[in-house]
Structure 1
Amino acid sequence: MKKILLLIPFIFVGFSSCDTLNQVAQSTVQQYGNPSQLEISNGLKQALELGTDKSSDQLSAVDGFFKNAAVKILFPPEAQKVESTLRSIGLGKLADNVILSLNRAAEDAAGQAKPIFINAIKQMTLQDVTNILLGRQDAATQYFKRTTTQQLSASFKPVIQNSLSKVGATRYYSDAAAAYNRIPLVTKVNPNISDYVTQKAIDGLFVVIAQEELNIRQNLSARTTPLLQKVFGYYDRNKR
């Protein structure tokens, strides 16, 4: 009898995370039932508002870009030779100042994203909601890219231009480009940096939104309200 009892704890080793997720999904059905169309719409919009708010807050904080390796803004590809050359001739501090100031400008702009995302969420149709909920794991991120990129660019650019001047990025980058351009026989680089930083700030925002979207799709603990649990339990049962 003792030997049999010792084996019992190991019976459950074969269960996969998928099994666990299915069990939780079934439990959610029993507890909450299937969501109505209105609940699906409200639940998804609630999740997206929470996710975009968190992403904007995270990136608009000091070091939100600068200390996040996934979104940190570096020298433009065409100017990477500028950086390596400056460092090789003892101007590493100037290169460091450029990188820091580019990221500070993006951090200044990121807070402008919230009302743009809220407006995009309000404009969602029931078909949009269904396609996002039951679509690919980045379906919401792709929706935001389609519907907000133009507005984000228009909103971010003046903030970034102002910030680049405020934190000295325009001067630092212009100084770096000028120092590089004075080196004999190099290909000259454009000292204007604002368009590049605007695009990288938007790209970084979507990287973090995609992370938040994946989190709520996969992490049960991220479903912090009964409505989210009900709607994403439905997602667990019906995802493609």
Structure 2
Amino acid sequence: MPLSETKFRLSKKVRWIFALLSLALALNSTLISADWLSKLKESIGKKDAEQALSTDEVGGGLKEALRVGTDTVVGKLGQEGGFNLDPKIHIPLPKQLDKARSILSTLGMDSMLVELESKLNEAAETATPMAKQLFIEAINDMTLDDVMAIYKGPDDAATQYFRSRMSAPLAQEMKPVVDDSLAGVGALELYDSVMKQYGKVPFAPEVDL
């Protein structure tokens, strides 16, 4: 298989992994896991009882909390080790590479795949800050009905909102960013090296990535 095709197929596969895992900004991040929405509701509820907050004020408070939370999560995931060291969002190698891992391990070359996995996560850390503006735009575009549905909904209401509104746009917008990140950290070059070594193994089954 030509290397250019190999690169394209890896990039195409991994960019969708990135698109999903970049949603950690809204799905698996500190924003959600720290029960921030429950705490926010409690805080707003206390202020509402004391000051009779308007619906607009409640909505504005929730939007601002989402913006601050997004900043916090982007900062956390976009730093060195943000993906690599967090087991909840760490990007594993695609299952299709399990065959190659098994065979290369017997030849003492599994370290290449360990490094490849590390580079995929490094690329995610590089790409994550680029997704921030997409989430800020989604927050800014929230209608009052959207905001109140999150406020009155279950603790995962914000998660469901971002999942429904962001999955497709994020995947589309992140394509060039992911490609640049993968190339920039050397993930594509390393993948080619891995597959070259794998291709030298007699009778090795084809890897369809």
Please give the range of the TM-score, normalised by the shorter of the 2 chains.
0.7 to 0.9
Q: 1:30 to 1:127 in 2, by over 3 A?
A: closer
**C-alpha separation in 2, matches of 1:139 and 1:61:** 27
Q: Deviations over 1:36-64 (max 9, x none)?
A: 10111101101111111111111111111
TM-score (structure 2 length as normaliser)? 0.72
The equivalent of 1:156 in structure 2 is 174
8 Å contact from structure 1 (residues 86, 92) kept in 2: yes
The equivalent of 1:132 in structure 2 is 150
**C-alpha separation in 2, matches of 1:32 and 1:171:** 60
8 Å contact from structure 1 (residues 53, 114) kept in 2: yes
Structure 2: which amino acid aligns with 1:44?
Answer: L
Q: 1:37 to 1:177 in 2, by over 3 A?
A: same
**C-alpha separation in 1, matches of 2:193 and 2:204:** 16
8 Å contact from structure 2 (residues 91, 117) kept in 1: yes
For structure 1, which segment, 75-84 or 122-131, has the greater mean C-alpha deviation from structure 2 after superposition? 75-84
Aligned pairs, how many? Answer: 169
Structure 2: which amino acid aligns with 1:101?
Answer: K
The equivalent of 1:91 in structure 2 is 109
Gaps of 5+ in 2: 1-38
SS in 2 for 1:179: helix
Rg larger in 1 or in 2? 1
Equivalent positions of 1:1-240 (< 5 A) are 28=46, 32-190=50-208
**C-alpha separation in 2, matches of 1:60 and 1:147:** 22
Shift of 1:29: 5.5
Structure 1: which amino acid aligns with 2:64?
Answer: Q
Shift of 1:31: 6.6
Structure 2: which amino acid aligns with 1:132?
Answer: I
SS in 2 for 1:112: helix
8 Å contact from structure 2 (residues 99, 207) kept in 1: no
Root-mean-square deviation (CA), in Å?
A: 2.4
8 Å contact from structure 2 (residues 101, 113) kept in 1: yes
Q: Deviations over 1:186-235 (max 9, x none)?
A: 431246xxxxxxxxxxxxxxxxxxxxxxxxxxxxxxxxxxxxxxxxxxxx
TM-score (structure 1 length as normaliser)? 0.63
8 Å contact from structure 1 (residues 112, 155) kept in 2: no
8 Å contact from structure 1 (residues 102, 164) kept in 2: yes
Structure 2: which amino acid aligns with 1:45?
Answer: K
**C-alpha separation in 2, matches of 1:156 and 1:83:** 28
Q: 1:29 to 1:87 in 2, by over 3 A?
A: same
For structure 1, which segment, 154-163 or 64-73, has the greater mean C-alpha deviation from structure 2 after superposition? 154-163
Q: 1:46 to 1:183 in 2, by over 3 A?
A: same
8 Å contact from structure 1 (residues 52, 117) kept in 2: yes
| Percent identical | 35
**C-alpha separation in 1, matches of 2:51 and 2:100:** 60
**C-alpha separation in 2, matches of 1:99 and 1:70:** 15
